[in-house]
Chains A and B, each alone.
Chain A
Amino acid sequence: MSNVTMKVNGKPVSGDVEGRTLLVDFLRGPLGLTGTHVGCDTSQCGACVVHVNGEAVKACAMFALEAEGAEVRTIEGMAEADGSLGTIQAAFQEHHGLQCGFCTPGMVMSAAALLKDNPKPSEAEIREYLEGNICRCTGYHNIVKAILAASGQDVPAIAAE
């Protein structure tokens, strides 16, 4: 076992982990941050996306020890200080960007990473950026609408309405 120290959602945390302990297992287990989901566990589905030093990564494809000293942000860090939903979360609610909700934490974290680099993405850019996030309920249209809305853009009628 080795000790690992990092900041998660602004709070310093540390714990003892094995070499093989995945970042997602450290977040969900010792830290109890179960908002980050494990979907496929083969780095295909994106349900486990978190930010490490500001970049979207799949927390099931990174070891906890590799986040030593890093700033990690999870879905639990996306709400406003008063506990109300953040802009992207509120847009997902408003536009029905989720049904079962399993993929939603990863979708929101990927959306946040996209909007940081590209504050006004086109519909095509949003769809391309979400290549690594799989949703089996919504058919994606409402997720795309939510992200357009969260970026302050008009939400067009998208096919399949």
Chain B
Amino acid sequence: MYAFELERPKTLDAAKAALAGDEAQALGGGQTLIPTLKARLASPAKLVSLAAVEGMSGVKAEGDQLVIGGATTHAIVAAEAALTYPGLADLASHIGDPAVRNRGTIGGSLANNDPSACYPAAVLASGATIVTDRRQIAADAFFDGMFTTVLDEGEIITEVRFPVPQAGAYAKFVQPASRFALTGVFVARFSEGVRVAVTGASEEGVFRWTEAETALSGNFAPEAVDGLSVSPDGMIGDLHGTPAYRANLVKVMTKRAVAAAS
């Protein structure tokens, strides 16, 4: 690692001030960023840890929404969202391994937007709202391609607001070495229709499979997508799976997610 200064502000205002400089970067749980720093793929002059910022961690129900603080760890979401949004808690309980879940945060995962991360699928399928220190961003407008979001420099995810669906579930085909999704699909059924979000498959990062949404809105059953197919164009190809393999997994994992949610 190159040398940097590490700050641990206690308030959101102090965190904003600390991030105002050019070379400053926010630190969530560090489960991706610290290995990245070790590989010298990032070299911030200053890291601003958000872990100690008051009011940034926790899970609470507000009306028909589940509100999760940006610095909330996966382990806390797994434990505290289990009754209100079991599909989301299940997703959180299978990210990485137990020690990673005790450190990694929802805000860090979303800001990083790894194309194989689990949380982006839940956020996009749920139609969640990402709240930052300066605005509210709809999930449909938040993700902007692999490892890219619409967040500005120094913008802090303070909370994520999830509308709780009538039924929702995530099915992940695990890449066993990294425990990321080789392909993962989150389905969420709302009274106004079904949303389907896919992670791990596309070179553009998380995306909605709209044909499946239409089919499942008419019939929320695994066989509803039997007649659909996904093009391998633009799918990720690597030593773990070809684009055609991933395209097929999109359909398979959608069916499994629907079965789990039904």
Q: Nearest-CB distance from A38 to chain B (Å)?
A: 11
Contact with B along A38-82 (1 / 0, CB 8 A): 000111101001000001111011110110100000000000000
CB-CB under 8 A from B177, the residues of chain A are: 44
Partner of A42, one of B30, B35, B99: B35
**Cβ < 8 Å to A, chain B residues 122-168:** none
Q: Check if A20 sits within 8 Å of B98, measured CB to CB.
A: no
CB-CB under 8 A from A55, the residues of chain B are: 75, 102
- In the A-B complex, the 8 residue pairs with the closest CB atoms: A132-B97, A19-B6, A131-B97, A55-B102, A20-B1, A56-B99, A58-B99, A61-B34
**Which of B34, B35, B99, B100 gathers the greatest number of chain A CB atoms within 10 Å?**
B99
19 contacts between A and B (CB under 8 A): A19-B3, A19-B5, A19-B47, A20-B3, A20-B6, A22-B34, A43-B100, A46-B97, A46-B99, A55-B75, A55-B102, A56-B98, A56-B99, A57-B99, A61-B30, A61-B100, A63-B34, A114-B98, A133-B97
A16 interface hit (Cβ, 8 Å): no
B38 interface hit (Cβ, 8 Å): yes
A18 interface hit (Cβ, 8 Å): yes
B37 interface hit (Cβ, 8 Å): yes
A115 interface hit (Cβ, 8 Å): no
Partner of A132, one of B1, B30, B35, B96: B96
Alpha-carbon distance A22/B6, docked complex (angstroms): 12
Q: Nearest-CB distance from B211 to chain A (Å)?
A: 34
Minimum CB distance partner of A61 in chain B: B34
Contact-residue bracket for chain A: 20 to 34
Minimum CB distance partner of A54 in chain B: B102
CB-CB under 8 A from B16, the residues of chain A are: none
Q: Check if A132 sits within 8 Å of B8, measured CB to CB.
A: no
Partner of B102, one of A18, A20, A56, A66: A56
A110 interface hit (Cβ, 8 Å): yes
CB-CB under 8 A from B112, the residues of chain A are: none
Alpha-carbon distance A131/B180, docked complex (angstroms): 13
CB-CB under 8 A from A22, the residues of chain B are: 34
CB-CB under 8 A from A65, the residues of chain B are: 6, 8, 49
B179 interface hit (Cβ, 8 Å): yes
CB-CB under 8 A from A113, the residues of chain B are: 98
**Which of A41, A44, A66 gathers the greatest number of chain B CB atoms within 10 Å?**
A66
Binding site for A on B (CB under 8 A): 1-6, 8, 30-31, 34-35, 37-38, 47, 49, 51, 75, 96-100, 102-103, 177, 179
CB-CB under 8 A from A57, the residues of chain B are: 99, 102-103
Q: Check if A131 sits within 8 Å of B3, measured CB to CB.
A: no
Q: Check if B4 sits within 8 Å of A132, measured CB to CB.
A: no
Q: Check if A20 sits within 8 Å of B37, measured CB to CB.
A: yes
Q: Check if A42 sits within 8 Å of B38, measured CB to CB.
A: yes
Q: Check if A63 sits within 8 Å of B98, measured CB to CB.
A: no
Alpha-carbon distance A19/B45, docked complex (angstroms): 10
Known contacts A18-B3, A132-B99; A43/B47 CB under 8 A: no
Known contacts A19-B6, A20-B3, A62-B30; A41/B38 CB under 8 A: yes
Minimum CB distance partner of A133 in chain B: B97
Q: Nearest-CB distance from B108 to chain A (Å)?
A: 12
Contact with B along A104-137 (1 / 0, CB 8 A): 0000001001100000000000000101110000
CB-CB under 8 A from B102, the residues of chain A are: 55-57
Q: Check if A131 sits within 8 Å of B98, measured CB to CB.
A: yes
Q: Nearest-CB distance from A111 to chain B (Å)?
A: 11
CB-CB under 8 A from A43, the residues of chain B are: 31, 34-35, 100
Alpha-carbon distance A49/B51, docked complex (angstroms): 19
Q: Check if B8 sits within 8 Å of A68, measured CB to CB.
A: yes
Minimum CB distance partner of A49 in chain B: B99
Alpha-carbon distance A68/B47, docked complex (angstroms): 16
Alpha-carbon distance A63/B44, docked complex (angstroms): 15
Alpha-carbon distance A73/B2, docked complex (angstroms): 28
